[in-house]
Chain A
Amino acid sequence: MAFPHRPDAPELPDFSMLKRLARDQLIYLLEQLPGKKDLFIEADLMSPLDRIANVSILKQHEVDKLYKVENKPALSSSEQLCFLVRPRIKNMRYIASLVNADKLAGRTRKYKVIFSPQKFYACEMVLEEEGIYGDVSCDEWAFSLLPLDVDLLSMELPEFFRDYFLEGDQRWINTVAQALHLLSTLYGPFPNCYGIGRCAKMAYELWRNLEEEEDGETKGRRPEIGHIFLLDRDVDFVTALCSQVVYEGLVDDTFRIKCGKCHGPLLGTSHMAGLVFNEIRNEHFSNVFGFLSQKARNLQAQYDRRRGMDIKQMKNFVSQELKGLKQEHRLLSLHIGACESIMKKKTKQDFQELIKTEHALLEGFNIRESTSYIEEHIDRQVPPSHCSRGYIVLLSLTSVVPDSSYGPEHLLTFSNLRRAGLLTEQAPGDTLTAVESKVSKLVTDKAAGKITDAFSSLAKRSNFRAISKKLNLIPRVDGEYDLKVPRDMAYVFSGAYVPLSCRIIEQVLERRSWQGLDEVVRLLNCSDFAFTDMTKEDKASSESLRLILVVFLGGCTFSEISALRFLGREKGYRFIFLTTAVTNSARLMEAMSEVKA
């Protein structure tokens, strides 16, 4: 069941070095404040920090007590305070309030702010305005690449999505460029570069500038990774908004995997890793039960061998096998518990029906049923980030009776969705497509009228139908799609839909260019932002040319990761994923929300 890699698949570079570097940097920074100190850590940095250092390392470098940065007065009595934070205005105000309270009390302490991954001028401006510039020293911890897996690097910057795609703020582009620069310094230049999207193009250009400025670092290096592909999230919102059905994606949708760890009531805090998980993570959920039960039976059999063993054999068994078996046992019960819990939730949410609706919407059939399904979910106040996953479901949500079901403040959320291009109003006089006029015939009241708008916005803004046809995203299936033996990337959505983002990557890699994809690029509104850059690179080994770094600007989903892993196995490539954060439909919706919990 777990798909093996082709024997000629290239080896992945070792990314654990990134962790060592980050840790060394942090230690260096802590040592800049010699002596005992209390460390205040921003909540969002705790999980990433946890992955590269532990408390005892911090203690070794004279960190006395640890605090979470919260909006509360600090109880610390230490003479030295160190703050490890993201560069956010509210953190600056918090620090300023502490420092100013100390000043008022006539107390002098030493303060150090370590910004991760970099500081922003706006933050310094606030420090200056608050009158504490100079009282605190500032440093940067350039930790922006966290290996979550052998092939997955996360920048852990979920705010990238909102900042860029909603607000149009380009503050993280330099961070991305720096990260790419670090990778090319460590793993050699990338001979083949491709990209699509406005942000992708800017990040690429800024990175190139950087490389030119720091000329010589990568010169003469043998490339380890043959290709790099940069892609903006807004090139493909559809995929990110679909409900996930591959195991890891489903677990993420259900329990939220944070920083490679799962936080569920049932699971406690557990690393979503280990042997069992590796074998099923990319699988369609329907295969998981069979796999787990097979494993459980094997495990039982292994344990059963104890019976009839003599003392010596028993001793061997205990010393050599028991530990492994126990570990496997723990993992198995973990995943079985997860599956149970998922099943419970999904039956409660009419998951099957939701999926059916989504697929019907993607294909453009059954509009009537789909729309009434959506309407009803809205009437029943099914939380938009919880269950209304389909992207048209989402689009509809944005315009149908928002105030009554989801609270009036969501008005602001809808305005955000419009700004990010997830919803556009229909210009008067636009001709309706066949699908839309079909829907408009069903229109009897105002709410349904809004659904028509949503459809037309889908058709107009994203040209999804045309793209889908051009790229053959909805596979024709004769008979059942055998999810046990996937035939294409569509398996990650039960055979109903090939993720657009992954299809684009596949097509470009096949051609080694955008040639012949002009129409698709035009439909994606990316004519000015699709680029290729090849350097004549004789040194690139054939192995490196089958290693591809895919950079998702604005986040990628586990489904996309699974789909590309599948493609890699088919073609003998291996993909490495660099994402600003792992995302899913709920996170995207929340990023658009104005109502802060």
Chain B
Amino acid sequence: MNRTKGDEEEYWNSSKFKAFTFDDEDDELSQLKESKRAVNSLRDFVDDDDDDDLERVSWSGEPVGSRTRPGSFQSLSDALSDTPAKSYAPELGRPKGEYRDYSNDWSPSDTVRRLRKGKVCSLERFRSLQDKLQLLEEAVSMHDGNVITAVLIFLKRTLSKEILFRELEVRQVALRHLIHFLKEIGDQKLLLDLFRFLDRTEELALSHYREHLNIQDPDKRKEFLKTCIGLPFSSEDSAHIQDHYTLLERQIIIEANDRHLESAGQTEIFRKHPRKASILNMPLVTTLFYSCFYHYTEAEGTFSSPINLKKTFKIPDKQYVLTALAARAKLRAWNDVDALFTTKNWLGYTKKRAPIGFHRVVEILHKNNAPVQILQEYVNLVEDVDTKLNLATKFKCHDVVIDTCRDLKDRQQLLAYRSKVDKGSAEEEKIDALLSSSQIRWKN
């Protein structure tokens, strides 16, 4: 596959690339002819095609040298070899497209065609609104976005914005180009004016909101977000914007507090687990994780407590449990994990419940490298027997597998499992004891 080098050598060394005649029909030369055609098709690129009458003029107005016209493959090579000897300084040899077009009578369609070829041609003569719009329509009907934008730049400069907006409102393709252009050059003011004119209130709001991404300072960003509240977003986005503001406000408080605690070096959790990054501008779930990690036991009244976050942002139970579980498991705080799933009923009995299903709990614990004893406990809580057996096998909870096989009276499976435990281990002994037990009525 790696043929580049070979090709290269062949290309530069082979003599067949050097001499040929145009009317030779020989097949071997067809490749060469293709090259020639290709190069010719690229003439535009190395040459100016149709303004022969114009001389190449230096900045001082002196004509500079004769033009080379690379009309064939060979002359391109020639051009390559003698470029340094060219009689005009290249920075003065203005490349194609930079020749001013002094002709004043190009029709709108000729003009856009010339624009498509990359030539600069004067649009100044299109002064009446009708002419301008005709020019725009020609550009749109040609489909080249670059030309549409070129015309729009001209219209933007020569029309009042009210007139420009009014005309674009009924020309959607051009309108989209203007909007994209304004976004790219960062003309936020005109963009907002345009959305206001078009009565696109939601886009106006989003566009304003987008600006916050450019504000680095957290306090300034927060203040900016405050100005977004109440803008005409969709009802649902409005709630998000409000939340975004509240969240950043919280994060600023938490960040100041925790940075202080961390640098003071008095708090164990920060000493043991230094923070990897600032909590500023993190998503809500990350913030919740952070607060479950560093502030788990705090009373509900503090801004940084998980319960407070849960209430303020109406975090669903499932999401809360998943996040808290991940955080506490990471700290290997198995008692907290246990408490997370323990519920008491009105008689005071405790019961284990997991809104996310215990199979998920097991997987998350496993990902956090929980020891087998802990895993085992939760694998046992999985209701579906097949799932339980699969998980137990996957995570090597031998006792659970063995007990489940025993309960299922599945001798075959137990036998098969024997090969998976270590030789001479306690598990093997346990299996052997069961297999030889006469009290079990095996189903197979």
A residues with a Cβ closer than 8 A to B are 14, 16-17, 19-21, 24-25, 27-28, 31-35, 51-52, 89, 110, 112, 118-122, 124-126, 137-140, 142, 149, 163, 167-174, 181-182, 185-187, 202-203, 205-206, 209, 213-214, 217, 271, 273-274, 278, 348, 375-376, 379-381, 401-409, 411-412, 415, 445, 447, 594-596
Contacts and interface: CB of A to CB of B under 8 A. Distances in A.
B180 interface: yes
Given A142-B45, A405-B283, A28 B146 contact: no
Nearest to A168: B176
Contacts of A404: 243, 283-285, 313, 315, 319
Contacts of A139: 95
Contacts of B181: 122
B316 A407 contact: no
A214 to B, nearest CB: 7
A465 B287 CA distance: 40
Interface of B: 1-4, 7, 11, 31, 34-35, 37-42, 45-46, 76, 79-80, 83-84, 90-91, 93-95, 97-98, 113, 115-116, 118, 120, 142-150, 153, 173, 176-177, 179-181, 183-186, 206, 209-210, 212-213, 237, 240-241, 243-244, 247, 281-286, 313, 315-316, 318-319, 322-323, 326, 356, 360, 367
Given A24-B76, A409-B213, A34 B153 contact: no
B145 A405 contact: no
Contact of B149 (A34, A120, A142, A379): A120
A138 B146 contact: no
Contact of A380 (B7, B120, B315, B322): B322
Nearest to B143: A202
A205 B116 CA distance: 14
A32 B180 contact: no
Given A17-B31, A174-B146, A445-B316, A168 B91 contact: no
> At the interface, is chain B mostly helix, strand, loop or mixed?
helix
Given A32-B93, A379-B318, A403-B240, A181 B176 contact: no
B79 A170 contact: no
A93 to B, nearest CB: 9
Contacts of B237: 411
Given A121-B149, A171-B146, A415 B80 contact: no
Contacts of A34: 83-84, 90
Contacts of B45: 25, 140, 142
B80 A596 contact: no
B247 A21 contact: no
B94 A137 contact: yes
- Which interface residue of A167, A203, A205 has the most chain B CB atoms within 10 A? A167
- Which interface residue of B80, B146, B184 has the most chain A CB atoms within 10 A? B146
Contact of B143 (A16, A20, A170, A182): A170
B2 A185 contact: no
Contacts of B1: 149, 271, 273-274, 278
Contacts of A274: 1-2
15 contacts: A21-B42, A89-B184, A120-B146, A137-B98, A140-B95, A163-B180, A167-B179, A169-B176, A173-B145, A181-B41, A186-B37, A376-B360, A405-B283, A411-B206, A595-B213
A278 B40 CA distance: 36
Contacts of B144: 170-171, 173-174, 206
B83 A31 contact: yes
B185 to A, nearest CB: 6
Contacts of A375: 318
Contacts of B150: 121-122
Contact of A182 (B41, B113, B180): B41
B143 A122 contact: no
A287 to B, nearest CB: 21
- Which interface residue of A89, A120, A214 has the most chain B CB atoms within 10 A? A120
Contacts of B142: 206, 209
Contact of B243 (A17, A119, A408): A408
A245 B1 CA distance: 23
B149 to A, nearest CB: 5
Contact of B91 (A25, A52, A110, A187): A110
A264 to B, nearest CB: 19
A142 B90 contact: no
Nearest to B39: A21
A379 B42 contact: no
A405 B11 CA distance: 56
B123 to A, nearest CB: 11
A137 B89 CA distance: 12
